Amino acid sequence: MATEELKQDAARYLMQTYTRQPLSIVRGRGTKVYDLEGREYLDFVGGIAVNILGHGHPDLVHAIQHQAAQLIHTSNLYYTEPQVKLGQMLVEHSFADKVFFCNGGAEANEAAIKLARRYSHDKYGAERFEIITMKNSFHGRTMATLTATGQDKVQKGYEPLLPGFSYVAFNNVEELERVVTDKTAAILGRDFPKLLGQMRQWFDWAHLYVWQALIMLDALIVWLLWIRMLPPPPPDAAPA
């Protein structure tokens, strides 16, 4: 089957929810992938950063084959040793006290939004439920994460959206300061490399002025680890 024929079948049978690149990838080895016509490409996408081990690594292939032959899936109705052992490893090598496993980014963000609201509800009362996110962000395609996404073009046609969300521009601490109120439960951010110059300033400010609010970072665990290693801010710290 040629790529053009595959594209036509995809248009006929699949929901058109994504704009795809005009490539039909059929196999990979290491950092390289190959299309239906045999052309070779370097894979800089890595499955949107979830395939960091590359394609066809023999150790990974062996591990998947071994697990597939032993046990495929049991759900969370039962205990499984690999799940508990992985959770233990993550906790012991990070800032975390507990681990929540989920299927993807949207589910992770849904859980973070629910956790933030439940924590604020139980600790501060039902009126503290608002969440601040960034303009031009992207947090998922479920209703809650769609609402959290600060893009009108993504939200258009799905109104009414969930209440309790507001949006500020990246790199604008002054705007964030104006939006935070005693109803703010959490601040949800993503693409924090854009904030390199102000990241410490943000968290110093959050520590001093919205210490009751949760700071939630979408997708970038490395930044969570980096922030956790920061020393506490000085008593007189304030955003410039």
Domains of the chain, first to last: 3-72 (3.90.1150.10), 105-228 (3.40.640.10)
Query: Model pTM greater than 0.85?
Result: no
Q: What is the pLDDT of residue 1?
A: 79
Read off the pLDDT of residues 115-124 as tens digits, 9 standing for 90 and up: 889 989 998 9
Q: What is the residue-averaged pLDDT of the chain?
A: 81
Q: What is the pLDDT of residue 173?
A: 79
Q: What is the pLDDT of residue 199?
A: 52
Read off the pLDDT of residues 164-218 as tens digits, 9 standing for 90 and up: 999 999 878 788 888 988 899 888 876 555 444 455 555 555 554 444 556 666 5
Rounded to 10 deg, the angle between the 199-209 and 221-228 helix axes is 60
